[in-house]
Structure 1
Amino acid sequence: MKFVVKLGGAALEDPKLLHLAGKALKDLVEDGHQVAVVHGGGVQLTRTLAQMGKVSEFVSGLRVTDAETRDAALMVLAGRVNKSLVAALGQHGQSAVGLSGGDGHVFRARKKITTPDLGFVGEIASTDPRWLDAIWKMGAIPVISSIALGFDGEYYNINADEMASACAIATKADALVFLTDVPGVKGADGQVMRWLTLKEVPTLEKSAVISGGMLPKLAACKAALTHGVKRVRILPAEAAASLPDLISSRINEGTEVMVA
């Protein structure tokens, strides 16, 4: 099976969680699965921008990205965060190849048209997974940062959830898993919803039960499910060890997002 795993939030900040995630990803490969990792790094980027004297601004969960912020994103996401994940997998004996979405033109971007304008924030315009296939043939894990190259020659900051969804669609993945720093999608009662159908999402959005960074995440879930990805799950990073059991066992952590 093909797995696309999106890593973000606490899983990138906490060495213990990063170790757990690295071990789980290696176990998936040892079980014969092909695994791609897509990562964000918003916390690290916000911290770096603060050190530069820049205040981070978000609109509907998306970062407003001027040229200086975009350049910082290239440095932080495609640089330090990406290579730290490659190193974490290497500690478990798992080979990995770090990429930005622009490398090999695996992901091409166009500017996201929004009101207000978000600057160098893009959306995926085209994909070419041949480099990912080549890495898989070598038994390695591609580790992809959420930066893509536009047809205009500019790099664009891509929401990592959107990138993960595009990766799952392009590779015809069987499962897309978001390892995140929240326990799952919470309903109006504050409890984690173990199952969430796409038709329930608009009502939850309208009542503001779902807001902020969960909005692009659920949009990414919808895109994946409506383009052939069979399973989509939002899983707390603490439950990373259950990743290899996702196929054969019932997991009581996180939220399974379904078409109906």
Structure 2
Amino acid sequence: MKFVIKLGGAGLENPETLALAAKSLTQLVEDGHKVAVVHGGGTQLTKLLAQLGKKSEFVAGLRVTDAETRDVALMVLGGRVNKTLVAALNKAGANAVGLTGGDGHVFKARKKHTEHDLGFVGEIAATDPKWLDAIWTLGAIPVISSIALGMDGEYYNINADEMASACAVATQADALVFLTDVPGVKGADGEVMRWLSLKDVPELQKQEVVSGGMLPKLNACKEALAHGVKRVRILPADAADLLPAFSSQRIDRGTEVLAA
């Protein structure tokens, strides 16, 4: 199988959770699967911005990104976070290659236009997965930070969920898994929904059952399923050890997102 894994939050910050995820991703490769990792790093970015005296602002789960914030994002996401994840995978026994979406023009971005001007926030306009294929051919794991070059030569901050979805579509992945800080998508009763049909999302949004950062994640799920990705799952990062069994056993953690 071909897996795209989105890793963020505690999966990047907590050393034990990161080691667990790295071990599981390495096991997937050893079992013969192809794995690509797309990562965020929003918490780390917010912390450094605060240290620099900049307040973070979000609209519908997306970070408002002026030029200075974009430059810090490039440093944090494309630098420290990416290389920390590469190091963890290498320590677990994998061969990991870190890159941004701008390297090799794997992802090309355009400015995201919304009612509120988000600045240097982009969306994926084009993909060229040949470099990912080359890394896979060598038996390695591409590790991609959520930064991409625009047609104008500027770097854009991309929502990591959206980039993971675009990566899954571009590579014709069999599965897209979001390793998150939350146990899954919770319903109105506060319980994790083991299965969530996309047709139910508008009503959940209307009732404000899902909001904030979960909205771009569910939109990313929708895009992936609409363009051929067979399975999409939101899984807590502390359950990353379940990934090697993903294709052969039933998993009772997280939320499986269904097209209908």
Q: TM-score range by the shorter chain?
A: over 0.9
TM-score when scaled to structure 2? Answer: 1.00
3-state SS of 1:193 partner: coil
Distance between the aligned counterparts of 2:90 and 2:259, measured in 1?
36
Match in the other structure for 1:114: 114
Instruction: Look up the SS of the partner of 2:252 in the other structure.
Output: coil
1:165-244 residue pairs with structure 2 within 5 A?
165-244=165-244
> Residue 35 of structure 2 corresponds to which residue in structure 1?
35
**1:252: which partner in 2?**
252
Match for residue 84 of structure 1? 84
Q: Partner residue of 2:61?
A: 61
- Secondary structure, counterpart of 2:247 in structure 1: coil
Deviations 1:109-152 (A, max 9, x none): 00000111000000000000000000000000000000000000
Taking the aligned partners of 1:29 and 1:93, their CA distance within structure 2 comes to: 10
TM-score using structure 1 length: 1.00
| Aligned equivalents of 2:193, 2:54: Cα separation in 1 | 37
CA distance in 2, matches of 1:119, 1:202: 27
Structure 1 stretch 161-170 or stretch 89-98: which is displaced more?
A: 89-98
Q: Residue 238 of structure 1: SS of its match in structure 2? A: helix
Q: What residue in structure 1 maps to residue 26 of structure 2? A: 26
Instruction: Report the CA distance between 1:20 and its aligned residue.
Output: 0.3
Cα distance per residue 1:48-79 (max 9 Å; x no partner): 10010000000000000000000000000000
Describe how 1:128-139 pairs up with structure 2 within 5 A.
128-139=128-139
The amino acid that maps onto 1:250 is R
Moved over 6 A (4+): none
Q: Alignment partner of 2:201: what SS?
A: helix
List gaps (5 residues or longer) in structure 2.
none
How far, CA to CA, are the matches of 2:3 and 2:189 in structure 1?
Answer: 32
The residue that corresponds to 1:93 in the other structure is 93
Alpha-carbon distance in structure 2 between the residues aligned to 1:14 and 1:167? 25
Identify unmatched segments of 5+ residues in structure 1.
none
RMSD: 0.4
Percent of residue pairs identical: 77
Distance in 2 of aligned mates of 1:257 and 1:81: 28
In the alignment, which residue of structure 2 is the partner of 1:140?
A: 140
Cα shift at 1:92: 1.1
**CA–CA distance in structure 2, aligned partners of residues 182 and 126 of structure 1:** 30
Please give the alpha-carbon distance, in whole angstroms, between the structure 2 residues aligned to 1:191 and 1:247. 25
SS in 2 for 1:98: strand
How many residue pairs are counted as aligned between the two chains? 260
